[in-house]
Structure 1
Amino acid sequence: MRKILYALLSSITGKRQGSSSTSIKYVKQSDAALARKFFADNLRRVIVLSLIPLTILGSLSIFITVWYIRGSVEQNSENRLNQINQLTEVIPAELDSLSLSFDKDPKIKLRLKNILNTTSFSFEEVEALFYLRNVIDVPANSKSYIHSIYIYYENSQGRFLSSRDGIAQMDSVLDTSWYTFYQSKVFSGEEELVTQPRELVASSDPNGTTQVLTVYQPFGGLNEDGHPRGVIVMNVLPSYFAKSLNLFNDWQGSYSYIADPSGDPLITSDSFGGSIPLPESEQLAEGHLIRSSLGGALVTMKQSPRLAWIAVSVIPTKALYSLPRMIVYITLALSVFSLLLSIIYALWITRKNYRQVTQIVHVLEHADRHDDTVPAMPDKIQDVYELIVKNILDTFLEQKYLRIQLSERQAKMELLELKALQSQMNPHFMSNTLHSIYWKAFQLTRSPNDACVMIEQLSDLLEYALRGTDDAVTLHDELANVRGYIELQKTRFSDRLQVIWDTRAEMKDCRVVKISMQPLVENSIHIGLAAQDQLAVKVKCRMNGANLHVTIIDNGPGIPLERLKRIRASFESDSMQGKHVGLFNTSKRLTLHYGAGKWMRVLSKEGKGTAITLIFPQ
């Protein structure tokens, strides 16, 4: 018991002890170390159970939130840029409409050319001028994003058609910078739209300027110098589109703007934070959506197909991932709170474990002193420590009973040995006597006869029973003994007995208990032939896993159900009940040989027969 106590203390504290006689004293000296070890173990277990799931859940939440937000923002940015491009596409649509009138209609082009070159207006020309002004006045006055429209076709008078002034002279108007740009700009074709941000001078007042985006569309073909003969000039108000851009700024610090192909801003929202360098990518020129992370922001851009304006959306990453950061802070706060709770719980469970270990040591002290007084047993088993205390107390209470049981077992073994010696003496006497009778019968008849054969068979049975001291034999030897017994019975009962053998050669070396089958065959023959004229007995041997199953089947009268229950119950008792001595003895011999277990099975149905199976572990 001292060794058990010493091993228990060593496993708990993790330290080597002195002699086993000082184990109890050491418990008091190692209280602090024991408590620290309990606390460290309990805290580690609690942290694993609390912080790891919390960390995994927080990480998954952050990952899923970032993935969802980024996907949602990217989709929203794409939709936003598509809406911006659709909004700006009204400009080339209006220019195309004007181009159909002034470029594709030869009559209108001719009348425009005549009006701009004439020195005096006829009635038809005045009427034509009224029609031409109406063509440009309608979109200029009905579209709030258009400031004014100019139509210029090369002429000797330096004139152009204006939606605000009608026929205007270059030398008498303030806004002529567009004409300078038109003269200096090299246009690649009539379908090309060119944008110029500029200040439109509306009066002689220097402060009377308006910020406009002037969009040029050439028409009329090229002259000898390779320059377009005419141009449609549309002055667009960027403030109109800027109001729409402000509606798209959903995130704090985000902004949108429209840039020209060189990257210079044309239209900006109120929260404009600076232009973004354009990537050198052919995909942008082809109208594909471009996404990139630049300067701590998620940048999305897309170019319109006609104007070549580039819509840009900028969302700061700080604003984009504010929710994931909040989840991180919440996860950290919950982790700290969980850690504090884990420490408190570890302290409480450490105190409880220490009391329980002290109780175990107290019980072991009683056992170590061989004290007969029994410590108090826990009323209810709640954890492993109380289960240990209960088991120790159960062992403590059963020690004396075990010693008594061992003494009784030794006495029974001695009694069995005595009975074995007696059983060996009686068959020896009978064997010698049978040999004498055999030779006496042979002398009387002067030849072998049935009596001599039966005596010889009976002698073989007795010799097998007395041969050797080993209680285990091969299946071949045991079946040979059973065959000898059956041949002896057939001499007596002649054709009334039929025996069927169902065995296999590969099982002949299996080990079985000696004289375990002959008593069962004897029961079948004795009871079966007493109740009926004909009897069939079958001996079947099969391997079932690692066990040899030997089944003895007969078609005798069977066993009534109530008697069958009593026979089965007798296998579990220590005393024989009823008259089935062979069954009881065989069951007990198998139990003594192989240990506790069900080594015999009895199945029977009244009026049908009986089947008894013996199980021999190999």
Structure 2
Amino acid sequence: MKKKFFFKRVAIYLGMMLLPMTLLFTAFCVLNLRTIDRDLKRQGRQTVDAVDVNFDLVLSNVLYQNDLLTSTTRMNLSLKRILSQSEMAYGDAVNIDSLLAILRSIKDSHEYVESIYLYTDGAARYFSSDKGIHTIDDSADSSWLDVYREIAKDSSSYIAPREISLGADQVIPVLSIYKRLLLQKGCIVVNIDVAKLEEILAKQISGHEETIYLVNRDGDVLAEQSVGSGGNGDRKYFARLKEQYGEGWQEYLKGMDGTWVRTQNGTCLLSVGSYDAMEVYYVSAISSKARTESIFAMLQSFLAFLVLDLCVVVFLAYLTTKRSFDQISYMISVFNEAEKGLPVAKPENSNRDEYDVIMNNIIYLFLNTNHLNAQLKENEYKREHAEMMALQLQINPHFLFNTLQTVDMEVRKQGASPEEVSTIIRCVSDILKYALSDPGEPVTVEEEIQYLKKYAAIQKFRFGDQFIIYYEVDDEVMDAAVFRLFLQPLVENSLLHGIRGSKQKGYVKVSIQKRGERLRCCVMDTGTGMTREEKAGLESRFSSDETGGIGLANLYRRLVLRYGEESALRVWSKKGMGTAVSFYIPCEKMKV
């Protein structure tokens, strides 16, 4: 019992404390979400700016030196002759050695540069920083030329992702930066190692759950680096943008700067920058998980406070429960003394608070009035019991008088056989024994039905074949305890006031069935019935002190005294069709 009230108090106190805490935490989260979004936007912008600076340095250093290299007229002429013919002069060889040395120095000074190619339009060969002159048809890497040939004539530069074969099924992903030569038709191709470029990008990411993308003008992802669980799922997002918005997709992408968008990999915050000279876009995508983690951190603080509150709640619930049960123990001890007849002293004034003062005085006043109330209830019970016994004793002679009257009428009949008289006398004898027994002793439904059948047998001698009586009683209620003669007045009323006045054979049905937690008792007949006025007059006589009859009024009073107003008689009747009288008995009051 203590545990039940303890846990109930814990639930109540926790609800009282949890509700304001939850409202406060919700308001705090709403306000803090704005701060989180503002911080994430600043984080994305910092990453994009840092990538812009570093990518500009990567391209500017390489392309600036290449511009210086290819702007030399003598060097360009030597390059053209070398790439267009197989033989070269001594001066060309010297220039080529110088060019190869310069390209290798550029590659060695920039670790992210994988190789550099020089090519003039229409030539069958190209110049490489690795081994010098290569024949295109025999070269292991020729895909760069296919990309170059597809570049628009009016485009001075272009970046494309591709792969370089290193042999033995080993390939390396690169970004090929195409830059047209200044003094002749051709191009410089600078191949940047994507892995090393992504290492540079990784150093620029300023937050967790963030991915940086380098995207060219065709929507191809040139490089990608992420921290946390973001990444590959968004690579196709930019291609879908181009497919959806066509040539204006870059402007749409720039317009998405600083907004949350839904991608294949989830919701993320975009920050967009661009390198206009190469039409390369830097896109920082911060996953919504970063915001979730911030909220989760706040939730952890909330849970910590919640655990602390729970400890306080448990402590308070324990104190109040202990105090309440101490008070209850005191009350029980006082009540026990009062039941034993011991005098109850007024509680001392050693009270801890107003609660004790109120409870102690209530107990004192209650116990002083309880004795008077108990006496009143005892007198009321005695009065009702005496009335019940009087009613029971009243119906016995009434029942016997009517029964004996039936016997007298049957004996007076001409032609009554000794066997019939003997049967009547035997039934009367059994009924006398049943009716004159202790009226306060309960009987079972089965016993009441048995003696009701004997009463009906006597009435058969009086009415002959004028009526048929049958019984519909549930087997499970046969052992239920009831008071004596609770059905006989109803059957008697049906025979005397219903069937006797009818000119045709009548039927009487006695029904006792269990309906939920109540026992429904009903006696129906197909007799003369009553009008509404007659029915109303009968019901008014039930509760009237000046009743002209004994049977139904007596039964009505006994039912109300024994089982309460909800067990009062209920009458249904229609003139010329019959009457039904029923009542209910609570199952809890039918125990022997």
TM-score by length of 2: 0.47
Higher radius of gyration, 1 or 2:
1
